[in-house]
Amino acid sequence: DLPLPAVPPAPARRSSRQIHVAGVPVGGDAPVSVQSMTTTPTADVDATLQQIAELTAAGCEIVRVAVPSQDDADALPAIAAKSKIPVVADIHFQPRYVFAALDAGCAAVRVNPGNIKAFDDKVKEIATAAAAAGVPIRIGVNAGSLDRRLLAKYGKATPEALTESALWECSLFEEHGFTDLKISVKHHDPMTMVAAYRHLAAACDYPLHLGVTEAGPPPQGTVKSATAFAILLNEGIGDTIRVSLTAPPVEEVKTGLQILQSLGLRARRLEIVSCPSCGRAQVDVYSLTERVTAALDGFPHPLRVAVMGCVVNGPGEAREADLGVASGNGKGQIFAKGEVVRTVPESKIVDALVEEAMRLGEQLALE
Ligand code: SF4
């Protein structure tokens, strides 16, 4: 027996204060929540609600809508009333849209008081109105829109500049006694973003909304967000996440959930363990995996399904999973809970896996 060196324990979760975005707690001991943002014109109520419904079905827990015009502000009451998940109004510069969002029943508002400071005592009015409505505010600092004063001081959007900007924005509300806040400090570079959140985590106890901004299309955007979120969440930093992708927002939600699942912060539902294929493969593993994934999409129970391309390494992995197939010689050996339950022709593999999944699902439902 070789003695293994002791491994230091993972850092504890940062102790943040808890806020409530309607029924979704953020911070403290609340699970890390997944957010996204609609891409429809907010004024198009039907299209926006349709997209929110798709996001909700994918597992989104908080949704943000942009409010750049009066027409968008006018759409907020219908959207907030009909959405099944809390709606956050994203507002720049226009205090009157903030009041409209509060009146509309939005669950939170994203607004930077630095942008509206010029509007006399509107910051105080917003603080008072948001406090009366019990609505939290997210301060969102982005590298691209950093305050000119801080750009001059730091030369560019450094982690320190982003952090100082966020804390200054918070102070504009704090001076009116309003602290129902969460903060984001986004940058397109994952390591700059990580450094900014580390500074922020040390400097305050507000809950933190993680995001790598302008991360780009998948796979680049997916990898950037996963890299940054994994580092921070593993250090106990981060209370809610939004994966920004140049892709339909449902992809952001799926990616966010997968990041949390990979970090052990969320229970898995469907997990496909598929081999990368190699010269031994006796089946088209890519297409088989795609068809199995599509056929089991939305399966309501946790299930690990192995899709293996040959009978050399396949049976071992297939046996370890809840369900699996090892393919070879035009056939598929179907495994359920470690046992071979049947052997089917290649054309029947997907159907057989779905049938076995249903059977396992029924058993799980009875347990
Ligand atoms: Fe290759 Fe078989 Fe391993 Fe798939 S399971 S990668 S086909 S050896």
Residue 24 in 3-state DSSP?
strand
Q: Is the pLDDT of residue 282 over 70?
A: yes
100-134: pLDDT as tens digits: 999 999 999 999 887 776 656 889 999 999 999 99
Q: Is the pLDDT of residue 364 over 90?
A: no
Does 310 contact ligand 1 (Cβ within 6 A)?
Answer: yes
Q: What are the strands, taking DSSP E only, across 207-322?
A: 209-210, 240-242, 270-274, 303-308
Mean of the pLDDT values across residues 231-241?
A: 98
- The one-letter amino acid code at 121 reads D
Nearest CA to ligand 1 atom 3: 313
54-65: pLDDT as tens digits: 999 999 999 999
Q: Is the pLDDT of residue 26 over 80?
A: yes
Q: What percent of the chain has pLDDT over 70?
A: 99
pLDDT band of residue 362 (cuts 50, 70, 90) is confident
Cα 203–chain centre separation: 24
| Mean pLDDT score of the chain | 93
Closest-CA residue to 84 (of 58, 49, 115): 49
126-184: pLDDT as tens digits: 999 999 999 999 999 988 888 888 989 999 999 999 999 999 999 999 999 999 999 99
Q: Which tokens in the block code for residue 24? A: 């979704």
Query: In whole angstroms, what is the distance from residue 153 CA to residue 194 CA?
Result: 21
Mutate to test the pocket of ligand 1, among 287, 313, 317, 325 (most ligand atoms within 8 A of CB): 313
Angle between helices 70-82 and 45-58 (to 10 degrees): 50
- C-alpha of residue 327 to centroid of ligand 1, in Å: 10
Is 317 among the annotated ligand-binding positions?
yes
Residue 5 DSSP label: P
Quick one: pLDDT at residue 118? 62
Is 106 among the annotated ligand-binding positions?
no
- C-alpha of residue 172 to centroid of ligand 1, in Å: 59
Q: Judge residue 133's burial from the number of C-beta atoms within 10 Å of its C-beta, 0-12 exposed, 13-18 middle, 19 or more buried.
A: middle
Residue with structure tokens 């006399």?
120
Residue 290 in 3-state DSSP?
helix
pLDDT band of residue 222 (cuts 50, 70, 90) is very high
Rg of the chain taking only CA atoms, in angstroms = 24
Q: Is the pLDDT of residue 300 over 90?
A: no
Q: Is the pLDDT of residue 203 over 90?
A: yes
Work out whether strand 323-328 and strand 331-336 pair parallel, antiparallel, or are unpaired.
antiparallel
What atom of ligand 1 comes closest to residue 276's alpha carbon? Answer: 6
Q: What share of the chain is helix, strand, coil (3-state, %, to 5)?
A: 45, 20, 35
Query: In whole angstroms, what is the distance from residue 334 CA to residue 314 CA?
Result: 11
Residue 208 DSSP label: B
Q: What percent of the chain has pLDDT over 90?
A: 81
- The one-letter amino acid code at 143 reads A
DSSP H helical ranges for 180-267: 190-203, 220-234, 249-262
With left for phi above 0 and alpha for psi between -120 and 50, is residue 257 left, alpha or beta? alpha
Quick one: pLDDT at residue 275? 93
- The one-letter amino acid code at 210 reads L
Query: In whole angstroms, what is the distance from residue 23 CA to residue 40 CA?
Result: 24
| Enclosing H/E stretch for 353 | helix 349-366
Does 308 contact ligand 1 (Cβ within 6 A)?
Answer: yes
Residue 89 β-bridge partners: 65, 109
